[in-house]
Structure formats: C-alpha cells, structure tokens
C-alpha cells in the first residue's frame, strides 16, 4: 500500500499525554488556573460533607410522621414518602391512581422508542396517536369498569406531562406552517402569519393564560363550555408556536438558494420541495434553539397554576400547605427540581446526540420528513 511508504510519525511530546498531561493542561496550566483549581477543591471539600450528611446520613427516610423529622438534623424525606402521590397525580381519586401511572409509563415508553432513529418511520406517528389514546382513555375512564374522572381532578406530574407533550406535539407542526407562511409569496398568507407571530410574541404567557381562561369563554356560543385544561393547553400552544416559528424561519433562511433552484429544476412542487429538501435541512440546523424552546415550554407549564390547574408545581405547593409538614418545603422543591431537571437534561442530551448525527451526515432526510 502507498501508506506504508510514508515516514513513521513521531509520538507527541510526553508532557501532553496521559493523566498527568491532562492535569497539567486543564488544571495546573499556569499560576491563575492553579489558584482556581485549589480554591475549587477547597470549596468542594468544605461544602460536600455537610450536604451529604443533611441529604443522606442524617436524613429521615420511610413512612414516619413529622414528629420524627422534627427531632432529626437531616432532610425529611418522609415528607416526600407521605405526599408523593399528591405531587405525581394531584387530586386524582386515590384508588384509581394506577391509571395516570400506567398512562405516564406508556407515554414515556413511546418517547423512549421514538428516540431511536431506526424507528423513525411513518408508523411511529400511529404509535404516538395510539399512545395518547391509551393515556387519555386511562385518565378519563368511563369504560371497562373504570370510573369517569373529570379533568379538573387531573394534576401533578401527570398534568405537566400532558401540557408539555401535547404542547410540543402540536406547536411544532403549527410553527412550521407559520414559518412557511411568513415566507410565502402570497400576501394574505404572509400578512396573517406575521400578525399572528408578532401579536403572540408581544404578550407574556401569563396574560395569554388569563385571556384563554377568562376571555375565550366570552367568545364561545352560550352553552359551549371548553374545559379549563384545554383552554390552558391552547394558550401554551399559541405561545410556543409563535416562538418556534421564528426559529424555523431562521433555519429556512440558512438554506442556500441553490437548494431551492435544484429542487425546482427537478420539477418538484412547492410541498415536495419543502418536505423533502428544505425543511429537513432547515430544521436540522436549528435543533439546538428548538430544543431550547421545548425545555422552556416544559418549565413554563408551571405557570398554569395561576389559572388554578394543579400541575407538578401547584401540587407540590398544596403538599407543603399541610400544616404538619409545612417545615419541609425545601425537600419538596428539591424533589420536583430533580423531576424537572431529569426531563430537561434528557432533552438537552438528546439534542446534542441529534446534532452529532447531523454533523456526520447520517441523519437521513426521510427520517425528518
């Protein structure tokens, strides 16, 4: 082979290799970073042991009353043990709480399957629809011997997942339509998209939630009563899709003119050009800001508390309101912070994974379309 004739390359200098090399390069490179490293170490050494003592060794675990916690120095995880069902399921009838539990497991299961690109086929859409059908079927009940449960009793993590999953699932396609509309050659379509996007972006989500809850019903015909959950969901979708639309538009603008022209020259019509050529590339370039928006949406669902929907946040506040456990709000907030973090961190990591796939050029167009 031709490569065999090449002169052997010499190894890099010793000092840049191995663990010692890494330490020198990253932690003790010069005086300034040495000082910072020592300071950081000191901070960890002083802060970590008390934290471990509070959170683990001195903490109170298991099914015990608040009186035990009062005598202990550490965290009162017994509070979580006592209240986790309220936090996860809200005021859903206690004996029926297996239903939202199974529902959430189904939804998260479908999400897990969707993460594998091998399954990005048209049938995955059907799987999602089936997943949502099972989920909402379980929650509503009213068949197969399951009692009917009104949406105002839905709550906790269940409600947060509904608002965010449906919010993401609906606002993303809507945002694509809006972004395409804003770049349309048809003046009316373009004007409608611009007005929509600018109006919604100019208003805080809180006021949208208020308007959806209290003003929207005024416009409905007498007797038509759209439930509170759906109204809040609509507000979240309206809000998120306006933001996403601008992100998608940014992606569309990043696609060189030549791509449009090549697709046109092959005789592809507008929708085919968008679906097969432009959108797959455009959306790939804006994966990081899109996921950023999804993460925002997930956390912003906690604002629905102001229209009296018991999401993860409000359910936790209700748990804390119990006079017996009032002292242990920190434990409560840490618990839901971990839940929020788990979902957001997953989204962030998955977005990085998708980006890496895109860079190596193996993310396929039909996967995105």
Stretch of 40-48, 93-101, 167-175, 261-269 contacting another protein, by CB under 8 A: 261-269
> Under DSSP, is residue 97 helix (H, G, I), strand (E, B) or coil?
coil
Do 27 and 37 touch, CB atoms closer than 8 A?
yes
Q: Shortest approach of another protein to residue 244 CB, angstroms?
A: 21
Stretch of 23-31, 232-240, 258-266, 302-310 contacting another protein, by CB under 8 A: 258-266
- Counted residue by residue, the chain has a size of 369
| 348 counts as binding another protein under rule CB under 8 A | no
| 117 counts as binding another protein under rule CB under 8 A | no
Token digits of residue 117: 């690109």
Restricting to residues 273-312, name those near another protein by CB under 8 A. 276-277, 280-281, 284
Stretch of 89-97, 179-187, 191-199, 256-264 contacting another protein, by CB under 8 A: 256-264
Q: Which is nearer to another protein, 219 or 271 (CB)?
A: 271
Number of H helices, E strands in the chain: 18, 0
Per-residue DSSP letters for 277-305? IIHHHHHHHTHHHHHHHHHHHHHHGGGGG
Q: Which is nearer to another protein, 24 or 362 (CB)?
A: 362
Among 124, 134, 234, 272, binds another protein (CB under 8 A): 272
Question: Measuring CA to CA, which residue among 229, 279, 273, 236 is closest to residue 254?
Answer: 279
Among 37, 151, 184, 259, binds another protein (CB under 8 A): 259
Q: Calculate ∠ Cα 44-50-52, nearest 5°.
A: 85
Do 320 and 326 touch, CB atoms closer than 8 A?
yes
Element (H or E) spanning 346, and its range?
helix 329-359
Binding residues for another protein, total number by CB under 8 A: 23
Q: Which is nearer to another protein, 61 or 353 (CB)?
A: 353
> Could you tell me how far CA 361 lies from the centroid of its own chain?
26
Q: Shortest approach of another protein to residue 264 CB, angstroms?
A: 6
Among 58, 150, 198, 264, binds another protein (CB under 8 A): 264
Phi first, then psi, for residue 268 (nearest 5°) are -70, 135
Q: Which is nearer to another protein, 236 or 290 (CB)?
A: 290
Q: Which is nearer to another protein, 129 or 262 (CB)?
A: 262
Q: Shortest approach of another protein to residue 139 CB, angstroms?
A: 39
Among 262, 321, 337, 342, binds another protein (CB under 8 A): 262
| 62 counts as binding another protein under rule CB under 8 A | no
Per-residue DSSP letters for 241-282? HHHHHHHHHHHHHTS-HHHHHHHHHTT--HHHIIIIIIHHHH
Which stretches of the chain bind another protein, using CB under 8 A? 256, 258-259, 261-269, 272, 276-277, 280-281, 284, 361-365
């Amino acid at each position: 082979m031709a490569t065999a004739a090449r002169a052997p390359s010499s190894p890099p200098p010793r000092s840049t290799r191995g663990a010692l090399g890494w330490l020198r390069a990253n932690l003790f490179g010069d005086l300034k970073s040495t000082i910072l490293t020592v300071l950081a170490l000191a901070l960890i050494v002083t802060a970590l042991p008390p934290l471990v003592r509070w959170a683990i060794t001195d903490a109170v675990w298991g099914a015990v009353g608040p009186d035990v916690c009062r005598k202990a120095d550490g965290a009162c995880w017994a509070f979580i043990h006592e209240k986790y069902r309220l936090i996860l399921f809200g005021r859903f009838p206690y004996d029926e709480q297996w239903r939202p539990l199974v529902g959430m497991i189904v939804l998260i299961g479908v999400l897990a399957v969707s993460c594998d690109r091998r399954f990005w086929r048209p049938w995955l859409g059907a799987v999602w629809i089936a997943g949502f059908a099972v989920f909402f079927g379980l929650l509503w009940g009213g068949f197969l011997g399951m009692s009917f449960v009104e949406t105002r009793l839905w709550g906790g993590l269940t409600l947060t997942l509904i608002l965010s999953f449906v919010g993401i699932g609906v606002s993303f396609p809507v945002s694509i339509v809006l972004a395409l509309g804003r770049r349309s050659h048809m003046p009316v379509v373009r004007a409608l998209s611009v007005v929509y996007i600018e109006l919604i972006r100019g208003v805080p989500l809180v006021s949208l939630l208020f308007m959806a809850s209290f003003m929207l019903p005024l416009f409905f015909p007498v007797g038509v009563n759209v439930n509170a959950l759906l109204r809040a969901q609509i507000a979240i979708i309206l809000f998120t899709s306006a933001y996403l639309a601008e992100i998608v538009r940014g992606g569309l603008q990043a696609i060189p003119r030549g791509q449009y022209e090549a697709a046109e020259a092959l005789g592809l019509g507008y929708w085919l050009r968008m679906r097969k050529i432009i959108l797959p590339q455009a959306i790939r370039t804006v994966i990081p800001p899109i996921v950023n928006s999804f993460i925002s949406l997930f956390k912003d669902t906690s604002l629905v508390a102001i229209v009296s929907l018991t999401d993860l946040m409000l359910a936790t506040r209700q748990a804390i309101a119990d006079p017996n456990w009032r002292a242990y709000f920190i434990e409560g907030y840490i618990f839901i912070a971990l839940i929020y973090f788990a979902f957001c961190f997953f989204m962030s990591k998955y977005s990085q994974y998708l980006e890496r796939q895109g860079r190596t050029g193996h993310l396929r167009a039909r996967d995105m379309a």
